Amino acid sequence: MTPSAAKHWKSPMPWSPDPEDDPVKSANTRRIFPRHARDLAAELEAVGCHPQAIPGLLLKGEMALFKLSGLSAAEAHLLKQAALSLGGDAAVHYGLITGERDHSDALLMLSLDRLESLRPKLEGLPFRLPELSLEIEQALRDAAPGRRAFRVGDRLYRREGRPYIMGILNVTPDSFSDGGKFQETSAALDQARRMVEEGADFIDVGGESTRPGADPVSAEEEWNRVKDVVRQIAAELPIPLSIDTTKASVARRALDAGARIINDISALRSDPEMLEVALDGDATLVLMHMQGEPRTMQANPAYRDLMLEIHAFLAERVEAAYSAGVVPDRLIVDPGIGFGKRPGDNFEILGRLGELADLGPILVGPSRKSFVGRALNLLPEERLLGTAAAAAVATVQGADILRVHDVKSIFQAAEIAHQCLTRAEPREPESRT
């Protein structure tokens, strides 16, 4: 604005800020990056918006992105037109324009305040568009943080601060990181007590190594390795116990001994009786994605669309559990860091965890994994800082549970990451007595 124009310009506002109250003396234009609605709400409050206006502005300020797969050309074109009419868009394959393709995936982009107007538009259209509108609404609703609660025993868990911490206790001779350290019951119990003192919310006991190339063991041998540890931890320690197994007979005996969670890396595929065991024992189930099986999973993993394939697999497994009678708050999903994944896949999963949020609470296990070792050229026992960084990213991206060896350090990393994310006061640690 020129000096001559300035003297004729009047502020459109009915008031002018007092220069003494404004710490910024000159124009300051910058782009901001609110990660969550609460961040945008804080900015709106700082501007001085009326409290009653903020909810509507939040909807305008948040863009919803949905990936839809396998649309016909007609469906993709109609979806795009509906989105454009609402001020959004749907990106589709260029080949639909040239006529070289008859189908496409689509990336729907629409602000939340216009999303509610999409369903009436799609309901009146042919093909699968009415069904797609319901799927979009369902995905948005299921991904809401309040919907991702889970129950262990009689207690309901919902992440409101840092993620919950699940301490790893391998009672095996050949696990990749701590094999042989806790085979003696006394050593395992000491480690379990230490993890509780350091802040663990759950302890996951395993009697069979699932490292790449590991040989399977019989159910009897696996149970003999873990039985004394499971019984004594369940009797002595105040936090829920998880059993890491793919065998229904081991899971049943562990539940009878006091375990409350079944961590099944096969996602119920290895043993057809596992679902019945979980239902009979009212257990919480962790369902993990894995390409292949432990002995061969790292031979040549390959994906055309990593997150699509992980989501589709876990969605099918979750639906199978629902169909058998498992209630939603007894299910947790795990994208399977390091299980049939290339190094870069693991980093991508960590950065895109939120895409799994509609499936339920998310457990992530980055602890001392080879993708950390390869990135930093470190042995398993040297990967603590890399694991902490991965755990911090997972915290920011929405993980509900972190499964780790080094409870104290990861507890601290997750707490700081959460506070950076929310600017919240640290919560008081729970009493362990």
CATH number for the domain spanning 76: value is: 3.30.70
Q: Decide if 9 is inside a domain.
A: no
Distance CA 116, CA 68 (A): 18
Q: 1 pLDDT exceeds 50?
A: no
**Would 292 be classed as within a structural domain?**
yes
Split at pLDDT 50, 70, 90, the class of 183 is: confident
How many other CB atoms sit within 10 Å of the CB of residue 74? 16
pLDDT, one tens digit per residue, over 218-265 is: 999 999 999 999 999 999 999 999 999 999 999 999 999 999 999 999
Q: Are residues 395 and 277 in the same domain?
A: yes
Residues 384, 306 within the same domain: yes
Q: Looking at the structure, tell me whether residues 155 and 134 fall in a common domain.
A: no
Long-range contacts of 254-257 (CB under 8 A, 24+ apart): 254/205, 254/223, 254/226, 254/230, 255/281, 255/283, 256/281, 257/227, 257/230, 257/231
Do 345 and 263 sit in the same domain of this protein?
A: yes
pLDDT of the residue at 429: 55
- Residues 133 and 210 grouped into a single domain: no
List, as one string, the DSSP characters of 120-189: HHHHTSSTTHHHHHHHHHHHHHHTSGGG--EEETTEEE--SSSPEEEEEEE--S--TTTTTTT-SHHHHH
Q: With 60 as the cut, is the pLDDT of residue 311 above it?
A: yes
What CATH number is attached to the domain comprising 269? 3.20.20.20
Determine, yes or no, domain membership for 47: no
Residue 7 is assigned to a structural domain of this protein: no
In this prediction, residue 63 carries a pLDDT of: 85
The domain boundary residue, chosen from 94, 125, 143? 143
- Active-site positions? 369, 403
Residue 178's pLDDT is 54
Compute the average pLDDT of residues 309-318: 96
Is residue 175 domain-shared with residue 243, that is, in the same domain? yes
Q: What mean pLDDT value characterizes the chain?
A: 88
**CA atoms of 320 and 318, how far apart (whole Å):** 5
Domain boundary among 143, 171, 203: 143
**Taking a C-beta distance cutoff of 8 angstroms, is the pair 222, 250 a contact?**
yes
Q: What percent of the chain has pLDDT over 70?
A: 89
Amino acid at 266: S
Domain identity same for 178 and 266: yes
Q: Which of 47-51, 95-99, 141-145, 413-417 has the lowest mean pLDDT?
A: 141-145
Range of the domain at 195: 150-421
Is residue 101 in a domain?
yes
* Three-state DSSP state, 334: strand
Amino acid at 184: E
Is the pLDDT at 26 greater than 60, yes or no?
no
Of the two residues 390 and 46, the one the predictor is more confident about is 390
Contact 133, 139 (CB under 8 A): no
Place of tokens 């863009």: 63
In the block, residue with structure tokens 């806790």: 182
Say if 10 falls within a structural domain: no
Q: Kindly state whether residues 92 and 154 are assigned to the same domain.
A: no
Q: Quote the pLDDT of residue 116.
A: 86
Residues 109 and 159 in one domain: no
Whether 325 is in a domain gets the answer yes
Same domain for 241 and 109: no
pLDDT band of 15, cuts 50, 70, 90: very low
pLDDT at site 383: 95
Could you tell me how many helices (H) and strands (E) the chain has, helices first?
17, 13
Q: Is residue 432 part of a domain?
A: no
Confidence of residue 129 (pLDDT cuts 50, 70, 90): very high
Residue where one domain finishes, among candidates 125, 143, 161? 143
pLDDT of residue 179: 52
Same domain, 331 and 386: yes
The number of distinct structural domains making up the chain is 2
- Residue 422 binned pLDDT confidence (cut-offs 50, 70, 90): confident
- Of 389, 313, 211, nearest to 402 (Cα)? 389
Q: How far apart are CA 201 and CA 212, in angstroms?
A: 27
The answer, yes or no, to whether residue 402 has pLDDT greater than 80, is yes
Phi first, then psi: give them for residue 300, nearest 5 degrees: -160, 60
Q: What is the pTM of this model?
A: 0.83
Based on the fold, state whether residues 174 and 81 are members of the same structural domain.
no
